[in-house]
Structure 1
Amino acid sequence: MDSFTHLVLGGAIGAAIAPAGQRRAAILAGAALNTVPDLDVLLLPLFTDDPVLLMTWHRSFLHSIFLLPLIGWLVWGMCRLHGKRVKSAPVRWFWLIQACLLSHPLMDACTVYGTSLLWPMETPPAMWSLFFIIEPAFTLWLLLGCVIAWCSPKKPLGRRSAIAGVVLAAGVIGVAGFSKWKVDREADRTLAAMGLAHAPRFSTPLPFSTLLWRVVAMTPSGYVDAERSVFDEGPMVFRGHPSNTQALAQAKAIGIPAVTRLDWFNHGFMRTQVQDGRLVLSDLRMGLDPTYTFNFAVAAQHEGDWQAVAPEQIKVPLPISGVSGFAKLIGAVWHRTWHESNVPLRDVIVAPRPVDATTEAVAPDGGAH
């Protein structure tokens, strides 16, 4: 989640748990504690400049549900020895500290990026993909709870508003979960009709929405994707996209470290291209085809074989920019949420791409889905 959401989440939790006379201090402390896990973005560059490692190590050790309770216990112990507030209400502050620290990685796991909740275990990062990285409907309730609690530092209204903010924000998670279930159910039906019932797939909300979703499924020759609103009634239309799966398989067989690392991190949801003799992997989870946020050149061809090279992140210009582009994106998402359409959202925002043989995925019976 974005930094501001973490601030107000920690603040609301702090205000909900702390004693009345310490509510303002708890809001500030909670906000600070909820940002601690993201300090890894400052620490990691001290040890490596490898863009693949920087991406895949983010949200790892400082997001571990095994490590954070220990950090919380140490913080609580130090504050109890040297702080009057914690000493006066040690139990409440213990749970406040723990809740603020642990809620951060749990919320991050609600996005599609990936969070290594079980670090140091080598299980793939959790990507529950319930929220876009910024979700105003979730953040707003927490912000209101913090503001009212700050203005009512000693009154019951302050604590009640903070609790209400957390509960209502949790309700937004529930709405997102229901929306995801509804979209996934229709995606399963459509993919099964296309002969892709067992294809690896994921769904993720489109920007600033829990009602409009993007579904991606991997195929032997690439991947298919579709957009789906919870209000859509017609069949889903998946569009096919090519990927150099043969080159990826060769790179995996050789054991190129960056390929192995990215495959673990993004659960195999990658587009593979060969550009100027280099193997370029794009994370399909973030962005809209053909423009993806994370693209890495990880290998080069040498005498017909792939050889590992120092990973290089390839910056791709965003299809929109500035206030006008942002407004256009919001408008397109809002319109598509309420109006069913088979036109890809990206083609609504920018100029449509030429239609080719990979544009539409066709079911075995010959009908488009």
Structure 2
Amino acid sequence: MDSVSQIALGAAVGVAVMGRRTPFGRAALWGAVLGTLPDLDALIDHGDAVRNMVLHRAQTHAPFYLVLVAPLIAALIAFVHDEARLFRRWWLAVTLVLVTHPLLDVMTIYGTQLGLPFTNHPYGVGSIFIIDPLYTLPPILGVIAALRLQDDRGLRWNLAGIALSCAYLAWGVLWQQQVRETAARQLRAEGVPVERILATPTPFNSLLWRIVAVTPDAYFEGFRSIFDGDAPIGFTRHERRPDLYEALKDHEPVARIAAFSHGFFAMQEREGKVLISDLRMGQAPYFFFTFAVARRDTDDTLHALPPEPQRWRPPTGEGVAWLGRRIFDPKLPAPGSR
């Protein structure tokens, strides 16, 4: 999730665990700081753009390591504030703040390596967009209420904020499953040989969902709103270029993206370069993670290259306007289908 959401969740958890044992502001401040601490791994340069992508949310997001470091941080906090008697409580608070960070991250589609050091599998539920104000607002309001009231009523408001945000996560999981099952049923009826399928919310909301279905040689992209009723999903077919993947599958950046995306990737040629895109984030023809990984030489052979990020972004105003209209209009075509 975005930093604001992690700060809000960390502050709310800090206040909830510490209660009135320490000043509310102190608990909120430490919770906010520690709530965003795991994301400092984004500052580490792993050598190239693809490694930086797939190794984000790794060791600093693994509960195993976070639990180990928690008592050291708690001891430091207790020492700084002369609260040795509260060490165990700070230990619990720090542990929960740190661990809830990756647990929230795993609800997004971006891979989080929760199982390190035992497995580097990137887990991602994909039931909430990385920035969603409806998730973030309740814990913010709960913390504000706690800081203003400074009593048990404030603590109850804070707990209510946490509960509402958790309920919103549950809402997302339920709708994700319904949208995915509806899409899979339609594609089966149409005879599409789907290998894997995902449903993930479009930016900033959980009302409109994007569906990606992968076949051996193509991917199908469609959108479904919770207001679409019985309207069929309008899927658009796009090439995946498996020939390019076969030629470059042993090139490390290509292999890393293929594994990290759980097979939700596509390749294409553009302006003499071979590109690979993670299909889970963005929408056709714009994807947040697209890399040039090879070029085609004059003798028609492919020459592998170090990965180079491609900075293509959709027109922001047009995209937001389309999202707003599509939520209520199942017949509105997706930008990539035009």
Normalising by the smaller structure, the TM-score range is over 0.9
Kindly indicate whether the alpha-carbon contact (under 8 Å) linking 2:184 and 2:197 is maintained by their aligned counterparts in 1: no
CA contact (8 A) 1:188 1:197 kept: no
Q: Which residue number corresponds to residue 40 of structure 2?
A: 39
Deviation at 1:330, TM superposition (A): 4.0
Structure 2 residue aligned with 1:120: 117
CA–CA separation in structure 2 for the residues paired with 1:198 and 1:300:
30
Task: Note closer, same or farther for the CA distance 1:28–1:215 as it changes in structure 2 (3 Å cut).
Answer: same
Alignment of 1:87-106 (within 5 A): 87-106=84-103
Matches within 5 A, 1:322-337: 325=317, 328-337=318-327
CA RMSD of aligned residues (A): 1.9
Gaps of 5+ in 2: none
Give the Cα–Cα distance (whole angstroms) in 2 for the partners of residues 173 and 118 of structure 1: 21
Q: Does residue 131 in structure 1 map to residue 128 in structure 2?
A: yes
CA distance in 2, matches of 1:295, 1:198: 23
* 1:109 positional shift: 1.1
**2-structure distance, mates of 1:125, 1:196:** 28
SS of 2:220's partner is: strand
Measure, in 2, the Cα distance between the counterparts of 1:330 and 1:305.
Answer: 41
Q: CA deviation at 1:77?
A: 3.0
The equivalences for 1:210-225 within 5 A come to 210-225=206-221
Counterpart in the other structure of 1:356 = none
Distance 1:197 1:211, change over 3 A: farther
Confirm or deny that 1:226 pairs with 2:222: yes
**How far does the alpha carbon of each residue in 1:266-314 deviate from its partner, in whole angstroms, 9 at most, with x for none?**
1121120123443210111111211112111112345554443211111
Counterpart in the other structure of 1:23: 24
Q: Deviations over 1:121-160 (max 9, x none)?
A: 444311111111111111110110011011122x101211
Deviations 1:302-340 (A, max 9, x none): 555444321111111x2224xxx1xx5444323322332
Matches for 1:314-353 after TM superposition, within 5 Å: 314-316=310-312, 318-321=313-316, 325=317, 328-344=318-334, 346=335, 353=338
Evaluate the alpha carbon distance shift between residue 140 and residue 82 of structure 1 in structure 2; reply closer, same or farther with a 3 A threshold: closer
After TM superposition, give the deviation of residue 19 of structure 1 in Å.
Answer: 3.2
Q: Does structure 1 conserve the Cα–Cα contact (< 8 Å) formed by 2:240 and 2:266? A: yes
Give the corresponding residue for 1:279: 274
Asked if the contact 2:193/2:215 (under 8 Å) is kept, the reply is no
Alignment of 1:268-307 (within 5 A): 268-301=263-296, 305-307=301-303
SS in 2 for 1:338: coil
Give the Cα separation in 2 of the matches to 1:124 and 1:339.
38
Q: Does 1:51 align with 2:49?
A: yes
Aligned to 1:312: 308
- For normalisation by structure 1, the TM-score amounts to 0.85
Counterpart of 1:156 (choices 143, 152, 168) is: 152
Kindly indicate whether the alpha-carbon contact (under 8 Å) linking 2:10 and 2:97 is maintained by their aligned counterparts in 1: yes
1:177 is matched with which residue: 162, 173, 178?
Answer: 173
AA of the residue aligned to 1:6:
Q
Distance in 2 (alpha carbons) for counterparts of 1:180 and 1:25: 38
Counterpart position of 1:70: 68
Q: Using the alignment, how far apart are the partners of 2:221 and 2:301 within structure 1?
A: 31
Q: CA offset at residue 195 of structure 1?
A: 2.9
Letter in 1 for 2:106: A
Structure 1: tracts of 5 or more residues without a match? 354-369
Counterpart contact for 1:124–1:267, Cα < 8 Å: no
- In the alignment, the residues of structure 1 paired with residue 175 and residue 124 of structure 2 have an alpha-carbon distance, to the nearest angstrom, of 16
TM-score with structure 2 setting the length = 0.93
Partner residue, 1:10? 10
SS of equivalent to 1:35: helix
Letter in 2 for 1:300: R
Q: Percent identity?
A: 33
**Is the contact between residue 297 and residue 312 of structure 1 (CA under 8 Å) also seen in structure 2?**
yes
**Cα distance in structure 2, aligned partners of 1:315 and 1:19:** 46
**In 1, Cα distance between equivalents of 2:118 and 2:63:** 11
More divergent stretch after superposition (235-244 vs 300-309): 300-309
3-state secondary structure, aligned to 1:201: strand
Are 1:257 and 1:308, in contact at CA under 8 Å, matched by a contact in 2?
A: no
CA shift at 1:82, angstroms? 4.7
Kept in 2: contact 1:176–1:211 (CA 8 A): no
Separation (CA, whole Å) in 2 of partners of 1:304 and 1:123: 37
